[in-house]
Amino acid sequence: MKQRKVPLRKCIVTNEMKPKKELIRIVRSKEGEVSVDLTGKKNGRGAYLTNSQECFEIAKSKDILSKHLSVKVSPEVYDQLEQMRAQAKE
């Protein structure tokens, strides 16, 4: 049986290529709304972050998501990322 190709994406903080399932996608819709995309299938401009506390802190301190998505990202999005990470640990 032929082995399937694993889709890789690049984390915008660490610039590492990782399997898509290991990353969290943040998406900006056409209306300019920024949200966390759990399914990985929402329409819009997407950015991927490694699912780690250090990565979230760097992204928040340097405001990398705002630069990458070309829209001001509210602190609530970062809070939502932290909550998702806490829930994943449980």
Per-residue pLDDT of the chain (90 residues; tens, 9 = 90+): 788 898 999 999 999 999 998 899 999 999 999 999 888 899 999 999 998 889 989 999 999 999 999 999 988 888 888 888 777 655
Domain range enclosing 44: 8-89
Domain count, the chain: 1
Does residue 85 sit within a domain? yes
Percent helix, strand and coil across the chain, each to the nearest 5: 40, 25, 35
CATH assignment of the domain containing 29? 3.30.1230.10
Instruction: Give residue 88's pLDDT.
Output: 63
Does residue 14 sit within a domain? yes
Instruction: Give residue 59's pLDDT.
Output: 92
Q: What is the 3-state secondary structure (H, E, C) of 14-31?
A: CCCEEEHHHEEEEEECCC
Instruction: Give residue 79's pLDDT.
Output: 87
